[in-house]
Amino acid sequence: MLDLSLPLAELFPHSPGPYIALMLAGFAIGILGHVLRVRWLVASGIVLILLGALLFPLVANLTTDNRPPPIDESRGDAG
């Protein structure tokens, strides 16, 4: 099986700007679909919102190699 994680990591940006733009475009398309009463336009807006908010950032985080270290939880004591 081919290792596709490296090319996939190069495709997805690691800054939030493109994901926010994709979500805003989804909202605009969804609103336009509601105004024009076109169901497939509403559905495509919902799909764009889901891709921008959930799926693409998840894939971008799963394919990166430099993950931050886990946060140490404080127990509240000073010692």
Specify the pLDDT at position 15. Answer: 77
- CA–CA separation, 18 and 7 (whole Å): 18
CA angle at 26 for the pair 51 and 16, rounded to the nearest 5° = 55
Cα–Cα distance between 55 and 57 in angstroms, integer?
6
pLDDT by 10-residue block (mean), the chain, 79 residues: 57 78 94 97 95 82 70 66
pLDDT attached to residue 19: 85
Q: How far apart are CA 56 and CA 19, in angstroms?
A: 8
- Which DSSP letter does residue 53 get? I
The pTM is what? 0.67
Helix, strand, or coil (residue 30): helix
End-to-end alpha carbon distance in the chain: 50
